[in-house]
Amino acid sequence: MTTILVNDIIPILVIMILGYICGKVKFFDDDQRQGLNKLVLNIALPAALFVSIVKATRSMFAQDVVLTLISIIGVTGLFLLSYWLDKLLFHRSTQQAAVCALIAGSPTIGFLGFAILDPIYGNDVTTNLVIGIVSIVVNAVTIPIGLALINKGQANDRMKAGVHQVKKADDQTATALKSKAVAPKDVVKTIPDGVSVTDEEAKALKEVGITREIDLARAEIRSHAGRKKKEPGNSTVEAIINAVKQPVAAAPLLAVILVLLGLKIPVAWDPSFDLIAKANSGVAVLAAGLSLSTVKFSIDKEVLWNTFYRLILTPAIIVLAAYLCGMGSDPNKISMLCLATALPPAFSGIIISSRYNIYVKEGASSVAVSTVFFAVTCIFWIWLLPILSSMFH
């Protein structure tokens, strides 16, 4: 335990603190910070995932099918559970709960996966396979689901706001007609765009000979409705396709396909990938510290719940599922899977939160607090997992 703490955990904390200090003293500006994030997510991490997974074999995938299923079902299911619990416990809207799930329900496997697991378990095919599978699930499954839920919530809010405006306009129009405060020909001016007229309004408008305007208005409404149905960006399938196009999801998926097809990458190509892949862990941890330096956070019940859910409850459920599914004979894989899902919240959640201006304060606070407490919970899981292993043998 002492060796792991000194050789693995403390160096990570030191580099993260260095990144935090660099951010606070403005050593890197915003463009440079974003550049480091892009270097990790779009170049170094995809290269590291690709070169590690293509070294696997089809038989290895067959042996690890339980691990793969637990990763896919577990990470996705816990993401959805986080969404549902946030709505239930804290009465959040659909889009707020979706952003919460992107943060509390998703590990930052891209930034810290290799940095945490490689020093502890070694840079071998099994370790990298766990990181690769969880990366695919987070980037190609949970993020598209989260974006689809955000779009759904925003659409529902717009619809509710529209219904309220329509009702208000209808009441105002009916009152004006009854009191004869406005001429029937002026009624059409009070009808909001995209709203059908009532029978009373239609009759009044017909009396002044502007039926044609009503027909044109209705035709325009149908035209707008047709365009809305074709409006891109609200499709879950489209969101998944866009996510898979990202290098951090595309690289491991391509590697998995090549392995399943039995195609091998020439060994002579390894150094080309390894050179940039080696930059991943150090730069990722430094970039994580830089990201934290931009966060203003506070602690409340919801932030504490998100921290507990991310660092304790999620890995506990994953470990329980692994033992129930018969993985007890390979405690090392369970340990890898536990730590891969016990990482701090995904920084992509904060990026999406800022982009949509949803759940910003709570999300930023959850990321900051979880990252700080991870130093404790990581040691806790490393201590507990061997004890659990001895109990199941």
In angstroms, the CA 159 to CA 355 distance is: 22
> Same structural domain for residues 343 and 251?
yes
Instruction: Tell me the pLDDT of the chain averaged across its residues.
Output: 75
DSSP track, 339-369: HHHSSPBPHHHHHHHHHHT-SHHHHHHHHHH
388's enclosing H/E stretch is helix 360-391
Indicate if the pLDDT at residue 1 is higher than 70.
no
CATH number at residue 107: 1.20.1530
> Same structural domain for residues 141 and 280?
yes
DSSP track, 93-161: -HHHHHHHHHHHTSB-HHHHHHHHHHHHH-SSHHHHHHHHHHHHHIIIIIHHHHHHHHHHHHHHHHHHH
Does residue 146 lie within any of the structural domains? Answer: yes
What's the pLDDT score for residue 84? Answer: 96
What's the pLDDT score for residue 217? Answer: 41
Q: pLDDT digits over 352-372, tens only?
A: 776 677 887 888 788 888 888
> Same structural domain for residues 286 and 387?
yes
In angstroms, the CA 113 to CA 337 distance is: 11
What's the pLDDT score for residue 165? Answer: 59
Of residues 65, 80, 140, the one with CA closest to residue 110: 140
Does residue 240 lie within any of the structural domains? Answer: no
> Same structural domain for residues 78 and 54?
yes
Are the C-beta atoms of residues 77 and 132 closer than 8 Å to each other? no
Domain containing 74 equals 2-151+247-391
In angstroms, the CA 1 to CA 383 distance is: 7
What's the pLDDT score for residue 259? Answer: 80
> Same structural domain for residues 194 and 60?
no
Q: pLDDT digits over 372-390, tens only?
A: 888 889 889 988 998 988 8
Secondary structure (3-state) at 179 = helix
> Same structural domain for residues 251 and 346?
yes
Q: Is the pTM of this model over 0.85?
A: no
Of residues 365, 383, 351, 369, the one with CA closest to residue 311: 369
Contacts 24+ apart (CB under 8 A), 229-234: 233/151, 234/148, 234/151, 234/152, 234/155
> Same structural domain for residues 213 and 283?
no
Indicate if the pLDDT at residue 118 is higher than 60.
yes
Number of domains in the chain: 2
